[in-house]
């Protein structure tokens, strides 16, 4: 009896959900989408019913197995499992827990799959936001269409290879119709994204749209802020972009399917189309695919930018041309957004031996004359402090006390910025953050403080060690090469 109840429930739920969804679509979408939905509704119902029936059967089997297992499991087995759970903590974990309870280390939160609400924007270039979807090419996709101020807005409709919208879209007024033109991505002569948003921004190629579809989960047809569109979700990092329905204009000025279908140009011309076509991506309620469109047609444009566009984290001010973040710390200390030798937060920058004001050359290590010498704190002394010497008065290396304050008043999150691993120190006071990058071949990194230590006969100085499992105060030999993150008041 229970088996038939599950099957009947699956049939009712599936048919009601699919019918209601289909009716909502048919009421709101254009004629092209209507036809597409009607053709697929029957198949979707059958597919969903089979899925729910299968789930019902599995639930019954699981319930029956569970009931049998409960009868056989003895009280002694339950007690044994409980004792095993208590002793499962490894020695390493136990030591880390004790150090954390003492306040000697901070263990960061590891973010492997950020939720969708961490999207959309992960960076900004020339005032326009983009998302790093973790694609193999490193291509980053804009959050909005050209001429749109928000992700759900359609923006302008452009003929292929043109940089201005117009009232009529016909072959006679097309600037590229019948011309032999190669892929123009990034060429401001034809690329509206480059022309309007500046260097770095460009129209996506056909291959980049293919990559988007391949490495994102099957696009969902959803409604955001009153407009339908496709939501692309990366399968690795969970980040998303939303392509709204845009409609199109062709053979005149009428705006067709404005709230049902999306049509987006690529920069790639079609093969064998007598110089009149170009590749475009289009979607309706149930599917999306590449196709070819007449160059004179008016379609939307979603811009992309290459992965060499680095990220600047939010900041509240700058000193001597270098940006800083106010974390609301009790001492009033402001932290730089990037390391010495770096322009962006995700860059590792230069490395230094302690008390040296010139960066260490790669592959070279010279004797440090501070080795074995009894020295006081070097913060602010331009003869020994690389931050003061290279960034000017007002900047200095952080002290050991500055690092301890950072540990106490920040939540540490092991994550990525752009495509670089590292740790975010997020203020518990105001939510602002700074990012400490870790080089790709390392899993751990130290940052110099200005504070000497008395270990090993004055041969070491204090650092902060950043690792996925812990953040702690440490000491390193003064001849070692580590980056520096300056501070200011």
- The pTM of the full predicted model, rounded to 2 decimals, is 0.52
Q: Is 68 exposed, middle or buried (0-12, 13-18, 19+ CB in 10 A)?
A: exposed
Residue 389 lies in a domain: yes
Grouping H, G, I as helix, E, B as strand and the rest as coil, residue 287 is coil
pLDDT band at 473 (very low <50, low <70, confident <90, very high): very high
Q: Chain-wide mean pLDDT for the chain?
A: 80
Tell whether the model's pLDDT for residue 76 goes beyond 50. Answer: no
Q: Among 305, 339, 365, which residue terminates a domain?
A: 305
Instruction: Note whether 281 and 338 are same-domain residues.
Output: no
Instruction: Note whether 271 and 376 are same-domain residues.
Output: no
Residue 160 lies in a domain: yes
Instruction: Note whether 413 and 483 are same-domain residues.
Output: yes
Residue 201's nearest CA partner among 300, 299, 347, 308 is 308
Give the tens place of pLDDT for each residue, 141-172.
999 999 999 999 999 999 999 999 999 999 99
Q: Among 305, 334, 368, which residue terminates a domain?
A: 305
Give the tens place of pLDDT for each residue, 258-314.
778 999 999 999 987 668 999 999 998 767 899 999 999 999 999 999 876 556 678
Instruction: Note whether 388 and 336 are same-domain residues.
Output: yes
CA distances from 295 to 76, 172, 230, 418 (A): 76, 11, 23, 35
pLDDT band at 239 (very low <50, low <70, confident <90, very high): confident
Boundaries of domain holding 59 = 2-86
Q: What share of the chain has pLDDT > 70, as a percent?
A: 75
> How many residues are recorded in the chain?
489
Instruction: Note whether 326 and 352 are same-domain residues.
Output: yes
Give the tens place of pLDDT for each residue, 332-386.
999 999 999 998 888 899 999 999 999 987 655 556 778 888 899 999 999 999 9
Residue 251 lies in a domain: yes
- Per the CB < 8 A criterion, the answer to whether 196 and 163 are in contact is yes
- Cα angle 175, 178, 183; round to 5: 75
Residue 479 lies in a domain: yes
Residue 167 lies in a domain: yes
Instruction: Note whether 370 and 429 are same-domain residues.
Output: yes
Q: Among 86, 102, 131, which residue terminates a domain?
A: 86
pLDDT band at 9 (very low <50, low <70, confident <90, very high): very low
Give the tens place of pLDDT for each residue, 45-67.
455 545 554 555 555 455 444 44
Instruction: Note whether 345 and 235 are same-domain residues.
Output: no
Instruction: Note whether 300 and 322 are same-domain residues.
Output: no
Q: What's the structural domain count of the chain?
A: 3
Instruction: Note whether 327 and 297 are same-domain residues.
Output: no
Widest distance between CA atoms in the chain: 86
Instruction: Note whether 224 and 279 are same-domain residues.
Output: yes
């Amino acid at each position: 009896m229970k088996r038939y109840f599950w099957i009947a429930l699956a049939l009712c739920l599936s048919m009601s959900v699919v019918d209601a969804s289909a009716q909502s679509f048919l009421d709101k979408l254009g004629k092209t989408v209507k036809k597409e939905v009607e053709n697929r509704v029957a198949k979707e119902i059958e597919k969903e019913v089979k899925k729910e029936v299968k789930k019902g059967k599995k639930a019954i089997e699981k319930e029956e197995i569970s009931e049998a297992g409960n009868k056989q499991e003895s009280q002694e087995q339950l007690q044994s499992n409980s004792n095993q759970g208590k002793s499962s903590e490894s020695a390493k974990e136990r030591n880390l827990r004790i150090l954390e309870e003492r306040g000697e280390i901070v263990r960061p939160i590891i973010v492997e799959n950020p939720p969708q609400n961490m999207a959309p924007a992960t960076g900004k270039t020339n005032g326009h936001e983009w998302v790093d979807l973790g694609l193999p090419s490193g291509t980053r996709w804009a959050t909005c269409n050209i001429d749109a101020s928000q992700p759900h807005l359609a923006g302008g409709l452009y003929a292929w290879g043109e940089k201005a919208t117009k009232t009529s879209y016909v072959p006679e007024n097309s600037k590229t119709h019948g011309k032999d033109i190669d892929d123009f991505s990034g060429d401001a002569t034809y690329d509206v994204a480059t022309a309007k948003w500046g260097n770095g921004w460009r129209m996506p190629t056909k291959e980049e749209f293919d990559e988007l579809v391949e490495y994102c989960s099957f696009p969902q047809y959803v409604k955001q802020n009153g407009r339908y569109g496709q939501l692309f979700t990366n399968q690795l990092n969970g980040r998303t972009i939303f392509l709204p329905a845009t409609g199109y204009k062709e053979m005149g000025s009428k705006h067709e399917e404005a709230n049902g279908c999306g049509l987006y140009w690529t920069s790639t011309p079609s093969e064998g189309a007598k110089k009149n076509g170009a590749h475009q991506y289009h979607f309706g309620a149930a599917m999306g695919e590449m196709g070819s469109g007449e160059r004179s047609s008016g379609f939307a444009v979603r811009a992309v930018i290459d992965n060499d566009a680095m990220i600047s984290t939010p900041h509240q001010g700058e000193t001597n041309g270098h940006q800083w973040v106010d974390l609301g710390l009790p001492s009033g200390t402001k932290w730089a957004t990037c390391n010495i030798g770096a322009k962006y937060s995700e860059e590792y920058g230069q490395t230094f031996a302690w008390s040296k004001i010139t960066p260490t050359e790669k592959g070279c290590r010279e004797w440090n004359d501070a080795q074995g010498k009894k020295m006081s704190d070097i913060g602010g002394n331009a003869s020994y402090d690389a931050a003061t010497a290279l960034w000017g008065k007002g900047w200095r290396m952080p002290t050991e006390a500055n690092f301890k304050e950072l540990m106490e008043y920040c939540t540490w999150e092991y994550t990525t910025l752009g495509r670089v691993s590292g740790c975010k120190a997020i203020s518990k006071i105001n939510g602002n953050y700074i990012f400490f990058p870790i080089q790709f071949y390392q899993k751990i990194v130290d940052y110099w403080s200005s504070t000497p230590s008395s270990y090993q006969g004055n041969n070491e100085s204090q650092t902060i060690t950043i690792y996925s499992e812990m953040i702690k105060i440490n000491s390193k030999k003064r001849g070692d090469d580590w980056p520096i993150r300056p501070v200011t008041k």
